[in-house]
Chains A and B, each alone.
Chain A
Amino acid sequence: MIQLENITWSTGARVILDDVTLTVPSDTYAVLMGSTGCGKTTLLEVLCGLRQPQKGRVLIEGRDVTALEPRERGIGYVPQDLALFPALKVFDQIAFALNLRRLPADARVRELADELAIAHLLERQPEALSGGEKQRVAIARALAASPKLLLLDEPLSALDEAMRGEAATMLKRIQQQHHLTVLHVTHSHAEATQLADLRLSFANGRVTPL
């Protein structure tokens, strides 16, 4: 379960998150909708610990993680630009979190690669991948260490219309198979309709249920 309690984050005079409170129950696919530039990415960054809120608490599965570093939160994060590691081939991207923990990587990487249909790409460098392939690699990388929460920042925005439906189906399947709590931010009503168990709206620094 994800809980944000009275989170405030501002830069200079501009308040991006204004006393934001939200709850996403476990095993739920939540879609947070808001216009471009309204602060959706900031909210995800506060949640995964890349930004420290000036006020409020972040709770994951009931545990207060506000003061914890990103690495201690157990969250899988797929940013909008995907941010694949420039110098690593696909296998090493997916194995990254496992190698850090000194866990056996080979079987897990191949299992995820099969699941996301990227087994034929494992030896490629990121610059040799298409947009859709990069997106699946970024998701596999985020899932490798078996997080219970997955944060997706506009995950379908870089895909063309034909691929979006297929990718949305894949995201829903992954959420159900891995029993994940997902927070997916987007400005697309179509994505929300197709995917959401819980729909949230984000405007003027505040989150409200739809």
Chain B
Amino acid sequence: MNRSQQCWLALAVITASYVIFWLLLLGASAAYATPDSWLRVLASPEIRHATWLSLISCTAAAGFALLLAIPVGYFMSRKSFPGKAWLDAALDIPIILPPLVVGLCLLIFFQTFAGKLIEKVIPFTYTVAGVVLAQFVVAASFAIRTMRGTFDHLSARPEEVALTLGCTRFQALWHVALPAARRGMVAAFCIAWARSLGEFGPILVFAGATRMKTEVLPTTVWLELSVGNLEAAVSVSLLMVLMAILVLVIVRRTGEKV
């Protein structure tokens, strides 16, 4: 075996070890959950409610995140301006902040005058809307990063040609850049959705953990763990893994067709 082959073999072993490590983790959890605990989880009205709320709130949060990520990502990719590096760093704040701090920031903001005014129109604190908002604030940062990367990889030349053909800048974005960025949009939605599904800290602090109201699946895991029901917690965790895989496969398949 020559040096090059040894190098590839070493890299393959590292990659395989990482994948096997994850399969072992999931396999151990799957083996821990008994059929009884699965049935109890599926039959529980609280957990069924949490499942539906997770599906709906993640989809809404990912949708809103994408709607924000497209214009922000395009702006950051195409426009140069003083202080751009600072704004770029600021957009990552929700990614680097500890999740509980994000929830705390939301909670405190809605105690301010501006926050209370907003809550007169849409109540967020300890509501389902609050769940979506808590998921959205973090998921949006990931979606923005993905959309910016997408636009960075797309040449700006076709948009410039579109300007000479009669487009306004907005029309060039709409007719040229967006159709070319379809796969990036699917990827941004997937990342925002998956991130929202796992969101826990901000939801717990800002929207609470009220059963049959603001309980999402990560909250269920925490509630079950807090009463020592490890089997149910593991079953719900596996349910989340299955949901995430299922939704991501569906969206990826759709993404490949667009």
Contacts and interface: CB of A to CB of B under 8 A. Distances in A.
Interface of A: 45, 48-50, 69-71, 73, 75-77, 79, 81, 83-88, 96-97, 100-101, 141-142, 144-145
Given A85-B176, A85-B180, A96-B175, A145 B155 contact: no
A1 to B, nearest CB: 19
B163 A50 contact: yes
B33 interface: no
B161 interface: yes
A75 B161 CA distance: 10
A71 B171 CA distance: 11
B162 interface: yes
B165 interface: yes
Contacts of A49: 163-164
Interface string B158-170: 1011111111100
Given A88-B179, A96-B175, A83 B157 contact: yes
Interface of B: 154-155, 157-158, 160-168, 171, 175-176, 179-180, 182
A195 B2 CA distance: 56
B165 A86 contact: no
A96 B158 contact: no
A97 B165 contact: yes
Contacts of B158: 83-86
Contacts of A81: 155, 157
Contacts of A96: 162, 165, 175
B157 A101 contact: no
A49 B165 CA distance: 12
Given A85-B180, A87-B180, A87-B182, A73 B157 contact: no
Given A79-B157, A96-B175, A85 B164 contact: no
A69 B171 CA distance: 14
17 contacts: A50-B160, A70-B164, A73-B164, A75-B164, A76-B164, A77-B164, A81-B157, A83-B158, A85-B175, A85-B176, A86-B180, A87-B180, A87-B182, A88-B179, A100-B167, A141-B165, A144-B165
A100 B164 CA distance: 12
A83 B165 contact: no
A101 B171 CA distance: 12
A70 B180 CA distance: 22
Instruction: Tell me the dominant secondary structure on chain A's binding face.
Output: loop
Contacts of A73: 164
Contact of B160 (A83, A86, A100, A144): A83
B164 A83 contact: no
A145 B166 contact: yes
A133 to B, nearest CB: 17
A90 B154 CA distance: 19
Contact of B164 (A50, A84, A101): A50
B163 A70 contact: yes
Contact of B165 (A79, A87, A145): A145
Contacts of B166: 71, 97, 100-101, 145
B46 to A, nearest CB: 45
A88 B155 CA distance: 15
Contact of B168 (A50, A71, A79): A71
A83 B155 contact: yes
A87 B182 CA distance: 9
A84 B176 CA distance: 10
Nearest to B157: A83
Contacts of A100: 165-167, 171, 175
A73 B164 CA distance: 8
B254 to A, nearest CB: 16
Nearest to A73: B164
